[in-house]
Amino acid sequence: MTIAAPPITDAEREALLRAAIDAMARAYAPYSNFQVGAAVLDEQGRIHPGCNVENAAYPQGVCAEGGALSAMVLAGGRRARAVLVVGRGEGLVTPCGGCRQKIREFATPDTPVLIAGPQGVRATFSLDALLPHSFGPEHLQKA
């Protein structure tokens, strides 16, 4: 049985947004000119930001979400209670397929993934809505 994760508070949402917007300003995106920021709330209530870092060898660039998750792991965090992604433009800046899987490693199906623009949160999805029928660490334990 999956126990539902407690919802995040307004203060946590606001702190995630601030951290992700600050991170977006530090993005290194000279090729796409598309800056993205992300922030992960861990099981201890700490927030870990990340930004996209592009590379002249294009495929070597990394997404904001991956950077934020790496920062969480480095700080000793092991659970993502919520993830927020912020970017500019008309369309919702939802995580790419690879990042959905990266989030999956540290999340549960009901983990909220908040999508924001500079003005605030625009949409919230559960991880399961973004990555249904996903493969994760439990599959390896049961094999």
The binding site for ligand THU (CB under 6 A) comprises 29, 32, 34, 36, 52, 54, 61, 63-65, 85, 93, 95-96, 99
Report the alpha-carbon distance of residue 20 to residue 121 in Å, rounded: 11
From the list 125, 112, 61, the residue with the least C-alpha distance to 83 is 112
Report the alpha-carbon distance of residue 23 to residue 37 in Å, rounded: 5
Closer of 37 and 77 to ligand THU (Cβ): 37
C-beta of 44: minimal distance to ligand THU in Å?
A: 25
Closer of 64 and 116 to ligand THU (Cβ): 64
Closer of 7 and 97 to ligand THU (Cβ): 97
User: Does 65 qualify as catalytic in the annotation?
Assistant: yes
Tokens representing 134 are: 């996903």
Among residues 12, 43, 65, 138, the one annotated as catalytic is 65
Residue 7, judged by CB atoms within 10 A of its CB (0-12, 13-18, 19+), counts as exposed
Catalytic positions are: 65
